[in-house]
Structure 1
Amino acid sequence: MFIRNTWYVAAWSHEVLAEGFFSRVITGIPVMLYRKEGGEIVALEDRCCHRGAPLSLGRREGDCVRCMYHGLRFDSAGACVEAPAQQRIPPQAKVRSFPAVERHRWIWIWTGDPALADPAQIPDTHWLDDPAWRCRPGYIHYDVDYLLICDNLLDFSHLPFVHRTTLGGHEEYAAVQPKVERIENGVRVTRWVMNTDAPPFAAAVKHCPGKVDRWNIYDFTLPGVLRMDSGMAPAGTGAREGTRVDAAEFRSCQALTPETEHSTHYFFSMPHNFAIDQPEVTDSIHQSIVEAFAEDSAIIHAQQKNLALDPSFRMMAFGIDSALSQFRRIVDQRLEEERQASPLAAEGAAR
């Protein structure tokens, strides 16, 4: 159902405090996050091995956690180190621990084989805390299959229709066919619209007299991470050739993490490198993005409701669907590779 051997965003750094616990369901697994006394992130399954009670309802004891149902105490690696009224603790008395890495304001978690968890595979999102950029953190909870949101992010032709007064711009934007390339673990989408109107959200914070040249260049990689170079510059000033004169530049970072088969965590931010000493500009950009993503949420939730009424319905592919179709094939391929590599799959093939 879900890709396991990959890094998922589990939380923003500010969500996991120095004290207490933070719980969230990730790919169908209840996960508890907390910080050791030195600040290091711990990720454990939020389910006591004794009777399945949430450990996040428990008590911190140094770097350990005590379940407040029957008093079992677990260390930060998930091993049970104390059980009241029981001198011998079974060696299998443990809860699952997950590799976790805190980087650039996001906390990443690996729910697959721990031996394969290479932090070097975590996508670069340094703009989130780079001093040359400014942004606000964002989060939305969706009650939909995460792949429907992937579809939305991989087809920006919806911008002038869903986001007419926010991100959209003129409807000619939808007529421009993007360049779609396969890259490692995903696709790269490049779209330029020359000599067009500035989108409302950017025009509100960056004065640009007359028409603009506008770009969206982004990598969308497994499991559902978007890193986008976007912006606008006065028309005819050479932006497409690499000369960005008086430009409004953004580096959007977005991550989709499945909660369950029918719900999704959506983390996002829109770093910008102009007017970084004006917090009102950062606030305006963030609010515009929040409003636009609420528009996405409305149409995608309505889509999910419609699809659920007829499980036999098959969506029809159009030319604008190239990127999302390729990405879905990449997801299917990775799922099949993991299925074939799992011990249960190997055992079934041997019978």
Structure 2
Amino acid sequence: MFIRNAWYVGAWSHELASEEMLSRRLLGENILFFRTATGRMSALRDRCSHRFAPLSLGRREGDCIRCMYHGLMFDADGKCVEEPGRSGVSPNTDVRSYPTVERYKQIWIWMGDSTLADPGLIPDCRFQDDPDWASIPAYIHYNADYRLILDNLLDFSHLAFVHEKTLGGSTTIAQTRPRVERVGDSVRFARWYMNEPEIAPYLRGFNTFDGPVDRWQIYEMHIPGNVLTMDSGSAPAGTGARNGHRVPEAMQFRSVQAITPEDDQSSHYFWTYAHGFNAKDQELTHKLTDRIAEGFEEDRRMIEAQQRAINDSGNDQMAFILADNGLALGRRMIEGRIASEIRAGQTTKGMSVA
């Protein structure tokens, strides 16, 4: 099942030019995104109310969409405004529209009870469009249950093994127990690796300092909407980063990773990895993004292989180890929110439990 009452990332803003339409499957439903002439974002169920033909096979007519099966036309709010051969329109011909907010270079969509769609609930992802930080919007498609991706993000001990030669580079990562706590609807992690002998592999060649490193990963997984916001970086050992002092040569990063379910076995992964040092160096931004993408590709291969193994495992149960504390908390929070929505009468899409 999916949490419905949450803001999910449905698309990057750049995917929707003024005259384009984008159909994307989210939470088991096909959604059609398009902009009006004023730039307002519209999100409609990608299904004509008449014979269920996809509206994405239709055409734009001003700020409306014409279904190209029998010609019904819908405005940006999903209201049927024209039915060929009739004065007015037949009853029950409107299509569902969804609240949207365009913020942080992303299109956010609310697919639950629209009366609860408070834009103030959108996580703070401001580093994606802060001029003092540089990043490139990126996307990965996963053939895997979104919860397996969250499990991966809620246990960074895997960096020592999956990303041994890329994002990790140190067995200290797996040996260090993080501080894990629940903060409202988020799981918060803090992990420090003090006086590491060298910088992580993916940063080599970008160094702003030499010598031993104090390294950190501090992040929150916002369970409604599956959005990870992370403060990470490396500073010269002993310069006080753990106490809040970030020296000018510190290599600081702010990452946003948003995971939106496509259906029960596939997911959308929207991400950025912003750097606050040498932010005007576009070549650095591109090279850094490529190296991060290499590491994320390692995750994708592992998680998709895991999903295939789960599909072949019948009722076999996974073992639980000490490092699973964070992901177990995340799973309990998801299950609790879904149960609450069911009690409140919200509709959910069924999905098998991994």
Query: Normalised by the shorter chain, which TM-score bucket?
Result: over 0.9
Structure 1 residues 156-195: aligned runs within 5 Å: 156-195=156-195
Taking the aligned partners of 2:240 and 2:204, their CA distance within structure 1 comes to 19
Identity across the alignment (%): 50
Structure 2 equivalent of residue 241 of structure 1: 243
Which runs of 5 or more structure 2 residues have no equivalent in the other structure? 349-354
Taking the aligned partners of 2:280 and 2:346, their CA distance within structure 1 comes to 55
Structure 1 equivalent of residue 119 of structure 2: 119
Deviation at 1:276, TM superposition (A): 1.1
1:250 corresponds to which of 246, 249, 253: 253
Taking the aligned partners of 1:2 and 1:232, their CA distance within structure 2 comes to 36
Alignment pair present for 1:206 and 2:172: no
Structure 2 equivalent of residue 332 of structure 1: 335
- For 1:230, give the aligned amino acid: S
Taking the aligned partners of 1:146 and 1:225, their CA distance within structure 2 comes to 12
User: Is 2:146–2:259's contact at 8 Å kept on the other side of the alignment?
Assistant: yes
Structure 1 residues 52-201: aligned runs within 5 Å: 52-196=52-196, 197-201=198-202
User: Is 2:7–2:110's contact at 8 Å kept on the other side of the alignment?
Assistant: yes
User: Is 2:155–2:323's contact at 8 Å kept on the other side of the alignment?
Assistant: yes
Deviation at 1:186, TM superposition (A): 1.8
CA displacement 1:263-285 (0-9 Å, x = unmatched):
00000000111111211110111
4+ residue segments displaced more than 2 Å: none
CA displacement 1:187-228 (0-9 Å, x = unmatched):
100000001121111233123311100000000012311000
Relative distance call for 1:334 and 1:68 in structure 2 (3 A) is same
Taking the aligned partners of 1:28 and 1:295, their CA distance within structure 2 comes to 26
Taking the aligned partners of 1:135 and 1:10, their CA distance within structure 2 comes to 19
Higher mean C-alpha deviation, range 311-320 or range 227-236? 311-320
- For 2:226, give the aligned amino acid: G
Q: Which has the higher helix share?
A: 1
Taking the aligned partners of 2:150 and 2:346, their CA distance within structure 1 comes to 30
1:341 corresponds to which of 325, 341, 344: 344
Relative distance call for 1:179 and 1:309 in structure 2 (3 A) is same
User: Is 2:112–2:346's contact at 8 Å kept on the other side of the alignment?
Assistant: no
User: Is 1:202–1:248's contact at 8 Å kept on the other side of the alignment?
Assistant: no
- What SS is found at the alignment partner of 2:275? coil
Deviation at 1:315, TM superposition (A): 1.2
Deviation at 1:260, TM superposition (A): 0.3
Structure 1 equivalent of residue 321 of structure 2: 318
TM-score normalised per structure 1? 0.96
Relative distance call for 1:321 and 1:343 in structure 2 (3 A) is closer
Higher mean C-alpha deviation, range 163-172 or range 4-13? 163-172
CA displacement 1:74-93 (0-9 Å, x = unmatched):
11110111111122412311
Which runs of 5 or more structure 1 residues have no equivalent in the other structure? 346-351
- What SS is found at the alignment partner of 2:189? strand
TM-score normalised per structure 2? 0.95
Deviation at 1:317, TM superposition (A): 1.2
Taking the aligned partners of 2:34 and 2:156, their CA distance within structure 1 comes to 37
Higher RCO (CA < 8 A, seq sep 6+): 2
Higher mean C-alpha deviation, range 197-206 or range 230-239? 197-206
Deviation at 1:150, TM superposition (A): 0.2
- For 1:302, give the aligned amino acid: A
Taking the aligned partners of 2:316 and 2:180, their CA distance within structure 1 comes to 27
CA displacement 1:121-145 (0-9 Å, x = unmatched):
0001010010010001110000100
CA RMSD of aligned residues (A): 1.2
- For 1:256, give the aligned amino acid: I
- For 1:174, give the aligned amino acid: A
CA displacement 1:51-75 (0-9 Å, x = unmatched):
1111111111111110111110011
Deviation at 1:243, TM superposition (A): 1.0
Deviation at 1:20, TM superposition (A): 2.4
Taking the aligned partners of 2:269 and 2:157, their CA distance within structure 1 comes to 21
Taking the aligned partners of 2:188 and 2:305, their CA distance within structure 1 comes to 28
Deviation at 1:166, TM superposition (A): 1.1
Relative distance call for 1:343 and 1:37 in structure 2 (3 A) is closer
- What SS is found at the alignment partner of 1:285? helix
User: Is 1:45–1:96's contact at 8 Å kept on the other side of the alignment?
Assistant: yes
Taking the aligned partners of 2:282 and 2:76, their CA distance within structure 1 comes to 39
Alignment pair present for 1:308 and 2:305: no
Taking the aligned partners of 2:284 and 2:308, their CA distance within structure 1 comes to 36
Question: How many residue pairs get matched?
Answer: 345
Structure 1 equivalent of residue 352 of structure 2: none
Taking the aligned partners of 1:203 and 1:192, their CA distance within structure 2 comes to 19
Taking the aligned partners of 1:71 and 1:186, their CA distance within structure 2 comes to 46
Taking the aligned partners of 1:18 and 1:34, their CA distance within structure 2 comes to 8
Taking the aligned partners of 1:138 and 1:171, their CA distance within structure 2 comes to 28
Taking the aligned partners of 1:20 and 1:278, their CA distance within structure 2 comes to 31
- For 1:234, give the aligned amino acid: P
Taking the aligned partners of 2:7 and 2:270, their CA distance within structure 1 comes to 14
Structure 2 equivalent of residue 231 of structure 1: 233
Structure 1 equivalent of residue 264 of structure 2: 261
